[in-house]
Structure 1
Amino acid sequence: MTVVERRPAEETAGPATRRRRILTSGVAARVTFYVAAMLFWLLLAALFDRVPTPVEVVASLAEEFSRGEVFGNFADTMYRFVAGVALATAVGIVVGVLMGLSQLSRAFLESPVMVGLSIPAMIWAFLTVMWFGFGHLSPIATTFLTAVPFVIINVAQGVQGVSRDLRDMSSSYGVPLRRRVRDLVLPAVAGYVMAGVQFAVIMGWNGVLLAEWFGGSGGVGYRARYWYDANQFAGFAAWVVLFVGVIIVLDRVVFDRAARRAFRWRDATS
């Protein structure tokens, strides 16, 4: 009897098939988007005098680095942003679990959460600057108020999706509430928590930049406003590119790894 060795499909596929797979992969799609975005930017710069070219933006960003403006302002923004998102995550998980487990809590808190979802970050930025003035507190408060409803609503939906039979059974056997939350609820809603935090990061980043724009005493938003008021759009665009790049790095590097860890923890405890 002759044994025929099977080779992987990748080895047996012809050059045309392999090329087609490469061209239709996710990496190719992302590269295509970045190339198309760059070409569109160049087209806008060619059509409109006030739109800076990529070369001018990179030169402006290099000048900001040489002046020592980037690291100090960026550190201020990251401190405010991390503090606001961390607070929103902690409060959002607690309130979301409470809303998911208790009908009375959900009836009491659902309307305020929906109101919070409907208020844009710009309004919170105006209000917190009026309340707290310049400094760290108003950007932190804006980040928190903008981000926390997204964490709450995602966690609450995740808790409601936990099997009611399992919850009733654990309650019938007298399992303490703390253990039910730790061993049953939190592993089941890990994905919802990550989704809520991801929304919180995006919305909170907008919030902190707007608060710095309108009333900051330093930071990325403050520096972007400085160049905008000076009618130097290359400098303004340099800071825009910088904080958009940060969001992309957070999403691709930090959250992808955090999501994998969260799902490993959920699977290990299920």
Structure 2
Amino acid sequence: MRILCATNSLLLGLIGFSAFLGIWALLSISGLVPSLFLPSPLAVVERFIYLLDHRFAGGTLLDHLWASMLRFAGGFGLAVAVGVPLGLLMGWFRLLDDIVTPLFDAVRFIAPIAWVPFAALWFGTGIGGPIMIIFAGAFPPCLINAYRGAKFADPRLIEAARMLGTPDRRVITEVLLPSAVPSIIAGLRISAGLGWQSLVGAELIVASTGIGYMMVQGQGNVSTTTVMAGMIGIGIIGLIIDVVLRQAENAILRRRGLSA
């Protein structure tokens, strides 16, 4: 039954994707939209393949994607390293929660792209600016989900640990953290998506390499195929990141008996 459902989902997905490509090709071929602004799917694929081996704006498509992924790894890793422990600590220490929450609630509603002017002033076109913007997008989900996971930890386990005289440090690492892992992993998926989107926005403005920079140069050269090839690369990498985190989430849930 599960295999049948998966097959049906895959079939429906293929139908939707085929319909999208068909409409796109029809609009391009019919001339309703000039090919300069809406090239055919085949032209975009050909450009994508071409850019894999040929340099544009200082590097191949893979070079630009690699530069973007390094920035993403830095910003996302920093968000996880700060957000997850802070969220757990806020879930355990009421005083820290009261201190951090008002500031966090004020800052988290600022769109990551709004930090671009500060990033440009502080870091120029170096790696620091994009990392800061990625951090701004990825940090809130990490903290919120870690905090939520800590708050919903089994109170019986916490009470048992307290009765045994377990220090706060061990309660956090051996009780709160394991209980919060499913929530943390779910938050990482959201965080990774927002971080990757924030990265591309940052590279459109404050970078001299990367997939966003390549797309800006394509726009300057009126090369729509280059811009769309970059969009395909962004989508592929984003999908890979999400699939990896989804598999990690499913594996953890299965180990904890929360998923089939």
TM over 0.5: yes
Q: Which residue of 1 aligns with 2:33?
A: 48
1:66 aligns with 2:53: yes
The answer as to whether partners of 1:212 and 1:220 remain within 8 angstroms in 2 is yes
What do the CA deviations read for 1:80-121 (whole angstroms, capped 9, x no partner)? 101111110111111110111122222221223223331212
The answer as to whether partners of 1:126 and 1:214 remain within 8 angstroms in 2 is no
What aligned pairs does 1:113-124 form with structure 2 within 5 A after superposition?
A: 113-124=104-115
What do the CA deviations read for 1:26-77 (whole angstroms, capped 9, x no partner)? 2223223322322232244343112121111112212212314122212111
1:130 aligns with 2:117: no
In the aligned structure 2, how far is the partner of 1:99 from the partner of 1:23? Answer: 40
| Percent of aligned positions that are identical | 24
Which 5+ residue runs of structure 1 have no aligned equivalent? 1-8, 11-17
Greater radius of gyration (CA): 1
In the aligned structure 2, how far is the partner of 1:181 from the partner of 1:189? Answer: 10
1:26 aligns with 2:9: yes
1:86 aligns with 2:69: no
Q: Which residue of 1 aligns with 2:147?
A: 156
The answer as to whether partners of 2:218 and 2:226 remain within 8 angstroms in 1 is yes
TM-score (structure 2 length as normaliser): 0.87
Structure 1 residue aligned with 2:177, among 186, 203, 207?
Answer: 186
The worse-fitting range, judged by mean Cα deviation, of 34-43 and 131-140 is: 34-43
Q: Which residue of 2 aligns with 1:262?
A: 252
Secondary structure of 2:204 counterpart:
helix
**Structure 1 residues 112 and 41, CA, compared in 2 at 3 Å: closer, same or farther?**
farther
Residue 161 of structure 1 and its aligned partner are, at CA, apart by 0.7
Q: What CA RMSD, in Å, does the superposition of the two structures yield over aligned residues?
A: 2.3
In the aligned structure 2, how far is the partner of 1:113 from the partner of 1:40? Answer: 44
Residue 267 of structure 1 and its aligned partner are, at CA, apart by 5.5
**Structure 1 residues 48 and 111, CA, compared in 2 at 3 Å: closer, same or farther?**
farther
Structure 1 residue aligned with 2:223, among 218, 232, 249?
Answer: 232
In the aligned structure 2, how far is the partner of 1:200 from the partner of 1:86? Answer: 10
In the aligned structure 1, how far is the partner of 2:143 from the partner of 2:6? Answer: 40
Q: Which residue of 2 aligns with 1:221?
A: 212
The answer as to whether partners of 1:187 and 1:266 remain within 8 angstroms in 2 is no
What do the CA deviations read for 1:144-184 (whole angstroms, capped 9, x no partner)? 12110111011111111112343233123211222212221
TM-score (structure 1 length as normaliser): 0.84
**Structure 1 residues 44 and 160, CA, compared in 2 at 3 Å: closer, same or farther?**
farther
What one-letter code is carried by the residue in structure 2 that aligns with 1:36? A
1:35 aligns with 2:26: no
**Structure 1 residues 56 and 200, CA, compared in 2 at 3 Å: closer, same or farther?**
same
Residue 264 of structure 1 and its aligned partner are, at CA, apart by 5.0
What one-letter code is carried by the residue in structure 2 that aligns with 1:48? V
Count the aligned residue pairs.
250
In the aligned structure 2, how far is the partner of 1:213 from the partner of 1:56? Answer: 23
**Structure 1 residues 84 and 23, CA, compared in 2 at 3 Å: closer, same or farther?**
closer
Structure 1 residue aligned with 2:99, among 63, 86, 108?
Answer: 108
Residue 198 of structure 1 and its aligned partner are, at CA, apart by 0.7
In the aligned structure 2, how far is the partner of 1:173 from the partner of 1:101? Answer: 17
